[in-house]
Amino acid sequence: MTDILQDTNREDAVEVTIFDRAYRLRRTAEPAYLLKVATLVDERMKNVHSSDRTRPAGELAVLAALQLAHELSEAQAELNDREKLIRTKTRDIERALDDKLRELGV
């Protein structure tokens, strides 16, 4: 989502609140999705803030972003592992099917 921060006078913007601050976002996706993502960021920042109330908002944002990036990286690794497993199982099924077809003379 490039350039999602929006001029406040644009009609196609969605307003979200993150860490008690309002932002107008360009509608690069459905408003409900943007609100969902903003809520996730807001919750993460508040969670980080609750464990360390001395950090400025900018640092909280970076820590929240790092947590979200870490989770994304883990999810991508899990997806890659599952894709490898699916490819392996697919090859095994193809071999078994080929063997059975040869056995049947087809």
pLDDT tens, position by position, 62-98: 999 999 999 999 999 999 999 999 999 999 999 999 9
**Is residue 83 one of the residues assigned to a domain?**
yes
**Is residue 70 one of the residues assigned to a domain?**
yes
**Is residue 3 one of the residues assigned to a domain?**
no
pLDDT of residue 5 exceeding 90: no
* Number of structural domains found in the chain: 1
**Is residue 4 one of the residues assigned to a domain?**
no
pLDDT digits (tens, 9 = 90+) for 22-39: 999 998 899 999 999 999
**Is residue 39 one of the residues assigned to a domain?**
yes
Predicted confidence at residue 10, as pLDDT, reads: 66
**Is residue 69 one of the residues assigned to a domain?**
yes
User: Is the backbone of residue 70 left (phi > 0), alpha (psi -120 to 50) or beta?
Assistant: alpha
**Is residue 35 one of the residues assigned to a domain?**
yes
Look up the pTM and report it. 0.74
DSSP 3: T
Q: How far apart are CA 80 and CA 21, in angstroms?
A: 37
Residue 105, CB half-sphere, CA atoms under 13 Å: how many? Answer: 0
Predicted confidence at residue 106, as pLDDT, reads: 86
Window from 5-9, 11-15, 39-43, 81-85 with minimum mean pLDDT: 5-9
pLDDT of residue 1 exceeding 50: no
Q: How far apart are CA 75 and CA 83, in angstroms?
A: 12
**Is residue 2 one of the residues assigned to a domain?**
no
Give the range of the structural domain holding residue 49, as residue numbers without chain letter. Answer: 13-104
Q: How far apart are CA 3 and CA 13, in angstroms?
A: 12
